[in-house]
Chains A and B, each alone.
Chain A
Amino acid sequence: MSNVRVLIGTRKGAFVLTADGKRENWDISGPHFPGWEIYHMKGSPADPDRLYASQSSGWFGQLIQRSDDGGASWAPVGNDFRYDGEPGTHQWYDGTPHPWEFARVWHLEPSLDDPDTVYAGVEDAGLFKTTDGGQSWRELPGLRTHRSGPSWQPGAGGMCLHTILLDRSAPGRMFAAISAAGAFRSDDDGGSWQPINQGLHSEGIPDPAAEVGHCVHRIAQHPDRPSVLYMQKHWDVMRSDDGGGSWHEVSGNLPTDFGFPIDVHAHEPDTVYVVPITSDSHHFPPEGKLRVYRSRTGGDDWEPLTTGLPQRDCYVNVLRDAMAVDSLDSCGVYFGTTGGQVYVSADAGGSWAPIVRDLPAVLSVEVQTRP
């Protein structure tokens, strides 16, 4: 029987949750790396037992951990993330030039076909790559050194490269998103990049339609329809039908279009999930009701999914990397909250149940579907 392995990164360690295909009874292991922030943990599509974790702390900096046995054991690998050449400056919060400074790895995206190749998105925004299983990392400087780079400015959470999408349909094509610079596309495996923000409108920047400067929170793509991208922006849920060439808003009837995560059903490219959050100054759900919203029409028309989720007095947040889907026949949807709950729906969002309620604040959720 198929089973799932859910990888949870939290403020104080990592947890691995496993269950069979029913997704009712769960084994929980952890905390791994107790006391450390685990911004992200992800498995290799080419070797599901090869896992990578970003481990960091304000005291002791950045480490990368690797497991070759599905999370049963871990070993630290390389942690030297040096920008290529003299890194120069970006804009600081007060508008002055500020040197690019490595802070942490936000996101690890293993290659689709090589377990030893992984991309890392870091703060201050940059893209790194390893081809030796994490032992050494080198920057792909084309993104950071884009001509617009000196004008990029951090969002409230730092200037982080938080999303990396590898396009299965077009070798060499990848997408990245940066807060608060925007979305970017490469067609040469990360060598060179172009901003793909046409159609975004952000009232919080001087030119709302600027080429860069947009606070993109997350982008998502379905592998069977790679030209379609979905985006949860700071405000606005957006869609592109031409690989990011242009965007249009699909917030439709959402109660609020502020939020962080966005994801796509494993088998239905038009079925999209978001978690509306009241506002950028109220990082909790409207009316104290935790609701996932699902669109089965690729946006615009959204329905609240509430069964099994708290519908009163709930004031948690769901962060940008804290939602994932499995690929079982009945698509499972997972998300984690800043209150330490991890919820699963084994029926594509129709009903929800907590897997665990009292973890540290959840930073990231990934899921592996295993035969």
Chain B
Amino acid sequence: MIRVVLPAHLRVLAQVDGEVQVQVGGEVTQRAVLDALEASYPVLRGTIRDQRSGERRAFVRFFACQQDLSHEPPDAPLPGPVCAGTEPYLIVGAMAGG
């Protein structure tokens, strides 16, 4: 299982506390994790990625294993510890807005 940490506003929206876990079939990529997340929590569609383009929203960032993955290709494999479930995949609301 892939561990995913959501920002506070999206936890409220998805009605979850703490981390969520999603099952990903095949290679574990950002796109696969986000697809699985949105399948489990349809209310999150459009809040992380633009519904039309599928691109990351401008003020959402993706972190894992102390790395900023926000600009990585969506189909690149995620770090091994994320795939193994020992480290979470972090979806973060960017520090913006003063």
CA distance A58 to B45 in the complex (A): 15
**A57-B9, A82-B52 as given contacts; A62 in contact with B46, CB under 8 Å:** yes
Instruction: Tell whether, in the assembled complex, residue B47 and residue A60 are in contact, meaning their CB atoms are under 8 Å apart.
Output: yes
Using CB atoms, name the residue of chain B closest to A34.
B12
CB distance from B5 to the nearest CB of A (A): 15
B84 CB-CB contact with A under 8 Å: no
Instruction: Tell whether, in the assembled complex, residue B43 and residue A58 are in contact, meaning their CB atoms are under 8 Å apart.
Output: no
CA distance A57 to B48 in the complex (A): 12
Instruction: Tell whether, in the assembled complex, residue B94 and residue A59 are in contact, meaning their CB atoms are under 8 Å apart.
Output: yes
Which B residues are CB-close (under 8 A) to A57?
A: 9
Q: How large is the interface on B (under 10, 10 to 19, 20 to 34, 35 or more residues)?
A: 10 to 19
**A58-B96, A60-B60 as given contacts; A80 in contact with B9, CB under 8 Å:** no
Which A residues are CB-close (under 8 A) to B51?
A: 79-80, 82
B77 CB-CB contact with A under 8 Å: no
CB distance from B41 to the nearest CB of A (A): 11
A-B pairs with beta carbons under 8 Å apart, 14 shown:
A58-B96, A59-B94, A59-B96, A60-B7, A60-B10, A60-B47, A60-B93, A61-B50, A79-B45, A79-B46, A80-B45, A80-B51, A82-B51, A82-B52
Q: How large is the interface on A (under 10, 10 to 19, 20 to 34, 35 or more residues)?
A: 10 to 19
**A35-B9, A76-B13, A80-B51 as given contacts; A59 in contact with B46, CB under 8 Å:** no
Which B residues are CB-close (under 8 A) to A80?
A: 45-46, 51
Using CB atoms, name the residue of chain B closest to A55.
B13
Which B residues are CB-close (under 8 A) to A79?
A: 45-46, 51
Which A residues are CB-close (under 8 A) to B96?
A: 58-59
Instruction: Tell whether, in the assembled complex, residue B97 and residue A58 are in contact, meaning their CB atoms are under 8 Å apart.
Output: yes
Bitwise interface map of A from 49 to 68 toward B, beta carbon under 8 Å scored 1, else 0: 00000000111111100000
Interface residue SS majority, chain A: loop
B59 CB-CB contact with A under 8 Å: yes
Given contacts A59-B57, A63-B46, 12 further A-B contacts (CB under 8 A): A35-B9, A57-B9, A60-B7, A60-B9, A60-B13, A60-B48, A60-B93, A62-B46, A63-B13, A76-B43, A79-B46, A80-B46
CB distance from B23 to the nearest CB of A (A): 24
Interface residue SS majority, chain B: loop
A230 CB-CB contact with B under 8 Å: no
Residue numbers of B with Cβ under 8 A of A are 7, 9-10, 13, 43, 45-48, 50-52, 57, 59-60, 93-94, 96-97
CB distance from A241 to the nearest CB of B (A): 43
**The 8 residue pairs across chains A and B that have the minimum distance between CB atoms:** A60-B47, A59-B59, A59-B93, A79-B46, A80-B51, A76-B43, A61-B46, A82-B52
CA distance A36 to B50 in the complex (A): 18
Bitwise interface map of A from 19 to 43 toward B, beta carbon under 8 Å scored 1, else 0: 0000000000000000110000000
CA distance A80 to B38 in the complex (A): 14
CA distance A59 to B93 in the complex (A): 6
CA distance A59 to B48 in the complex (A): 8
Which A residues are CB-close (under 8 A) to B59?
A: 58-59
CB distance from A33 to the nearest CB of B (A): 9
Residue from A59, A62, A63, A102 with most neighbouring chain B CB atoms (10 Å): A59
Which A residues are CB-close (under 8 A) to B50?
A: 61
Which B residues are CB-close (under 8 A) to A63?
A: 13, 43, 46-47
Which A residues are CB-close (under 8 A) to B57?
A: 59-61
CB distance from B10 to the nearest CB of A (A): 7
CB distance from B16 to the nearest CB of A (A): 14
Which B residues are CB-close (under 8 A) to A61?
A: 46-47, 50, 57
CA distance A60 to B9 in the complex (A): 9
Using CB atoms, name the residue of chain B closest to A80.
B51
CA distance A35 to B97 in the complex (A): 12
CB distance from A29 to the nearest CB of B (A): 17
